[in-house]
Copies of this chain bind each other. A is one copy, B any other.
Amino acid sequence: MISRMSTLFLRTLRDDPADAEVPSHKLLVRAGYVRRVGPGIYSWLPLGKRVLDNVARVVKEEMDRFGAQEVQFPALLPREYYEATGRWTEYGDGIFRLKDRKGADYLLGPTHEEMFTLMVKGEYSSYKDLPVNLYQIQTKYRDEARPRAGILRGREFLMKDSYSFDLDDEGLKRSYELHREAYVRIFDRLGLDYRIVSAMSGSMGGSASEEFLAATPTGEDTFVSCTDCDYAANTEAVEGRAGVALDASDEPALKVYDTPDTPTIDSLVELFNRLDLGRTVTAADTLKNVVVKLRHPGAKETEVLVVGVPGDREVDLKRLEAAVHPAEVELFEAEDFAKHPALVRGYLGPQGLAEAGYTYKVDPLVVPGSSWITGANENGKHAAHVVYGRDFTPDAAVGAAEVRSGDPCPRCGHALTIGRGIEIGHIFQLGRKFTNAFEFDVLGPDGKPVRVTMGSYGIGVSRAVAAIAEQKHDELGLVWPREVAPADVHLVATGKDDSVFEAAATLAVELDHAGVSVLFDDRRGVSPGVKFKDAELIGVPTIVVVGKGLAEGLVELRDRAGGERENVPLEQAAARLRELLG
Contact = CB atoms under 8 A, between A and B. Distances in A.
A44 B67 contact: no
Given A9-B69, A96-B98, A96-B100, A74 B143 contact: no
A90 interface: no
Contact of A78 (B8, B37, B71): B37
A561 B70 CA distance: 27
A71 B46 contact: yes
Interface string A59-84: 00000100101111111111000000
Given A74-B37, A75-B156, A76-B96, A132 B43 contact: no
A540 B98 CA distance: 40
B76 A115 contact: no
Interface residues of A, number: 53
A145 B102 CA distance: 9
A41 B123 contact: no
A443 B443 CA distance: 71
Contacts of A75: 75, 139, 156
Contacts of A101: 93, 143, 145
Interface string A523-564: 000000000000000000000000000000000000000000
A75 to B, nearest CB: 7
Given A98-B98, A123-B9, A139-B139, A71 B42 contact: no
A246 interface: no
A458 to B, nearest CB: 18
A207 to B, nearest CB: 27
A155 B76 contact: yes
A155 B101 CA distance: 11
A8 B38 CA distance: 41
A71 B49 contact: yes
A128 to B, nearest CB: 9
A323 to B, nearest CB: 27
A11 interface: yes
Interface of A: 1, 7-11, 32, 35, 37-38, 41-46, 48-49, 52, 64, 67, 69-78, 93, 96-98, 100-101, 106, 108, 115, 119-120, 122-124, 132, 134, 139, 141, 143, 145, 155-156
